[in-house]
Amino acid sequence: MFRNQYDTDVTVWSPEGRLLQVEYAMESVKQGSACVGLRSNSHCVLGALKRSVSELSWHQKKLLEIDDHMLVGIAGLTADARTLAKYMRNECLHNKYVYGTPMPPHQLMADVADKHQRTTQTYVRRPFGVGLLVASVDPLTQKPHLYQTCPSGNLYEFYASAIGARSQSARTYLEKHHETFGDASRDDLIVHALQALVGCVSGDDELTKENASIGIVGKDEKFTLLEGDALQPFLDRLELKGGDDDEEEAGDDAAAEAEPMET
């Protein structure tokens, strides 16, 4: 009936020293729609692909504001992410109220990671089924930081990363270009984020101003969300693949297809 007997409880180690329930929770991150993040020396940008459950529904929100200097992108169970976002917002408010300064991102991220860890060691709660990409600017140094959390409680800081369904293609794109991100302008970062997202769109779909979403924080820029018409100018700068019209236009230019646009 079961694949094995070690995979139904979080508090049980497998003979190989693995926690299968935690690994399964990490699978749910891969089910969520893609989310990419990258940073320069002044800005941190998140991009996400929004899903809609039907023709008549809105697209599900993917980027959540935490504070003026912080936002999260989510992949996995949205409801779990909202619980975490609520916690993070509270911590930020609390820090501001008690100490009079914005929450230092690395400190909050360590707390969030510990919150994840607790669910993996006690019987009462299941692990969170969501991965977060957190874009932030350290209020003290004004330097941008991009963090990634994982249901296991692991925490990473990246120059660029992607999570969610078909995110491998985005990571490949980012790995190829991440060395140029340091000095990139804010707008270039946005285009890179969108370009990375293009590969994450499922077969018969394409990246549009409806399903794309971009969030920015920067040295002198508070949380900004770009959606809908505000995104169109950036989308126009992309080389879309798979789109019906664009395929005909770009299809002839094989070189351009192989080498994604440098901006």
Partner 1 sequence: MASSGSGYDLSAATFSPDGRIFQVEYAGKAVENAGTVIGIHAKDGVVLGVAKPLYHKMIVPTTASYKRIHTVDVHAGVATTGFLPDARVLVGRAQEEAADWQEHYGSKVPPHVLADRLGHYVHYFTLHGALRPFGASCVLGGYDVDTKECGLYMLEPNGAAYKYYGVATGKGKQVAKTELEKLNLHKQDAESSMDVATAVKNVAKILILLHKENKDSDGKPMELELSWICEASKWKHAPIPKDVLTAAKEWANEQLEEEDEDDEEEEEAMEEG
When asked if residue 153 is in the footprint of partner 1 (CB under 8 A), the reply is: yes
Q: Is 195 helix (H, G, I), strand (E, B) or coil?
A: helix
- Please state the closest distance from residue 24 (CB atom) to partner 1, in A: 15
For position 24 contacting partner 1 by CB under 8 A, the verdict is no
Which residues are paired to 221 by β-bridges?
Answer: 218
Q: Are 129 and 84 in contact (CB under 8 A)?
A: no
Identified binder of partner 1 from the candidate list 10, 75, 216, 217, rule CB under 8 A:
10
Helix (H) or strand (E) holding 134: strand 130-137
Tell me, what amino acid is at 221? Answer: E
Calpha distance 211→200 (Å, rounded): 12
Q: Which is nearer to partner 1, 59 or 178 (CB)?
A: 178
Q: Which one of 18, 86, 94, 222 is in contact with partner 1 (CB under 8 A)?
A: 18
Q: Please enumerate in sequence order all residues whose Cβ is within 8 A of that of 9, keeping only pairs 6 or more positions apart, or say none.
A: 21, 123
* Least separation in angstroms between CB 116 and partner 1: 7
Q: What are 123's two structure tokens?
A: 């019987």
Kindly list the distances between the CA atom of residue 82 and the CA atoms of 15, 31, 86, 181, in Å, as whole numbers in the listed order. 34, 17, 6, 30
- Considering only residues 68 to 97 of the shown chain, the ones binding partner 1 according to CB under 8 A are none
Among candidate residues 163, 119, 165, 111, the one with its CA nearest the CA of residue 22 = 119
- For partner 1, which residue of 13, 99, 210, 230 counts as binding (CB under 8 A)? 13
Phi-psi map region of 209: left, alpha, beta (phi>0 left; psi -120 to 50 alpha): alpha
What's the min distance (Å) between Cβ of 255 and partner 1? 25
Task: Count interface residues toward partner 1 (CB under 8 A).
Answer: 41
Residues 112-151 that bind partner 1 (CB under 8 A): 113-114, 116-117, 120-124, 145, 147
Find how far residue 249's CA is from the centre of its chain: 30
262 binds partner 1 (CB under 8 A): no
Give the binding range for partner 1 (CB under 8 A) out of 7-15, 24-32, 43-51, 241-249. 7-15
Nearest distance, CB of residue 134 and partner 1, angstroms: 11
Positions in the binding site for partner 1 (CB under 8 A): 5-6, 9-19, 106, 109-110, 113-114, 116-117, 120-124, 145, 147, 152-161, 171, 174-175, 178
